[in-house]
Each structure stands twice: as structure tokens, then as C-alpha cells.
């Protein structure tokens, strides 16, 4: 991608959070975001922290919102009716021969060959993949069926507040 100079990084964050002109986020919130995704001198390119910010803003924030809403619905359902549980996962493995450019890192949808235990065209998975794929393929339906996530795979901050 194109480089993002440090002197343009603050404006990039502000524009992304303020919908390119509509003031939705105040200065203290923007400062907090910059603290989470720092890029200051002597950096010459802020593209990597900008990409991390955009990925989190696009995928993680909405997902966490949805899971919190589901957890709230579960609390309401607990008083009468069927309780609803919601789980999140963080996929952090990149197949050695993933056909996408290495610069993509671990990207949205890169978990799908593991979830469905079916590598896509061009994938040449490592020996780690069959075990990881079998684990995911077996674990998710079990969690959905039972409504319980095994303690050893449960995040420390579960349930989300």
C-alpha cells in the first residue's frame, strides 16, 4: 500500500472516526485512539498502525458490540425462556503457504479453511493445520449445541462487560 507520513496520521484517524467530516468523536477520544495505535517520530510510515486501527474499527468493534448485545439478551432470557450465549474467537495463525500476499498478515476470512476443514485453492497447509482444523471443526458446533465454552479456551475477560 501507500505510505502514510506521520504528519498525516492524526488527520487520518480523525477522518476515519468522524466519517470524513461529520464531528462524531471528540479530541480526548481521538487522543486515546492514537495512544492505542501509536505512530510518532522517528517513524517514517504510519501505514501499519493505520491498517491495525482500520481492521479493529471495522471488524473488532462491531463484533464486540454484537457479542455484548447477545450477552445482554442472555441475561434477560435467564429470567424466563431460553438463555442465549455468545462466543468470540481471535484467530492468530497464518498458514505457511497462504496464497494471499504476506503483507496481508492474518486477515478477515483466513480462518475459514480451518473452520470448515477445507483448504481453498492454492493453499498448502502445514502439518499444524489438520489438528487446528479438526479442533475448530469439532469445537464450534459443540459450543453452539451445549452453550458452554471450555474453560481452557475461554478468554480471561469473559463474559464481556
The pLDDT score that the predictor gives to residue 38 is: 93
pTM > 0.75 = no
End-to-end CA distance of the chain, in Å?
Answer: 36
Q: Which residue in 138, 150, 143, 152 sits closest to 85, CA to CA?
A: 143
Q: pLDDT for 28-86, tens place per residue?
A: 988 999 999 999 777 789 998 998 898 888 888 888 888 878 777 777 766 665 556 66
Nearest to 2 by CA among 37, 56, 48: 48
How far is the C-alpha of 159 from the C-alpha of 69, rounded, in Å? 12
**Closest alpha carbon to 37 in 16, 18, 64:** 16
Residues 153 and 139: beta-carbon distance below 8 Å: yes
Amino acid at each position: 500500500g501507500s505510505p502514510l507520513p506521520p504528519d498525516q496520521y492524526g488527520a487520518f484517524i480523525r477522518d476515519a472516526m468522524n466519517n470524513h467530516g461529520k464531528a462524531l468523536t471528540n479530541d480526548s477520544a481521538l487522543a486515546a485512539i492514537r495512544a492505542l495505535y501509536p505512530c510518532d517520530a522517528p517513524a517514517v510510515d504510519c501505514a501499519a498502525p493505520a491498517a491495525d486501527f482500520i481492521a479493529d474499527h471495522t471488524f473488532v468493534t462491531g463484533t464486540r458490540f454484537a457479542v455484548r448485545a447477545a450477552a445482554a439478551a442472555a441475561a434477560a432470557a435467564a429470567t424466563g425462556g431460553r438463555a442465549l450465549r455468545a462466543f468470540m474467537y481471535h484467530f492468530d495463525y497464518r498458514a505457511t503457504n497462504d496464497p494471499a500476499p504476506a503483507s496481508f498478515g492474518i486477515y478477515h476470512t483466513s480462518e475459514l479453511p480451518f473452520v470448515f476443514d477445507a483448504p481453498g485453492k492454492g493453499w498448502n497447509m502445514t502439518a499444524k493445520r489438520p489438528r487446528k482444523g479438526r479442533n475448530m471443526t469439532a469445537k464450534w458446533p459443540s459450543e453452539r449445541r451445549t452453550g458452554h465454552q471450555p474453560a481452557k479456551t475461554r478468554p480471561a475477560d469473559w463474559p464481556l462487560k
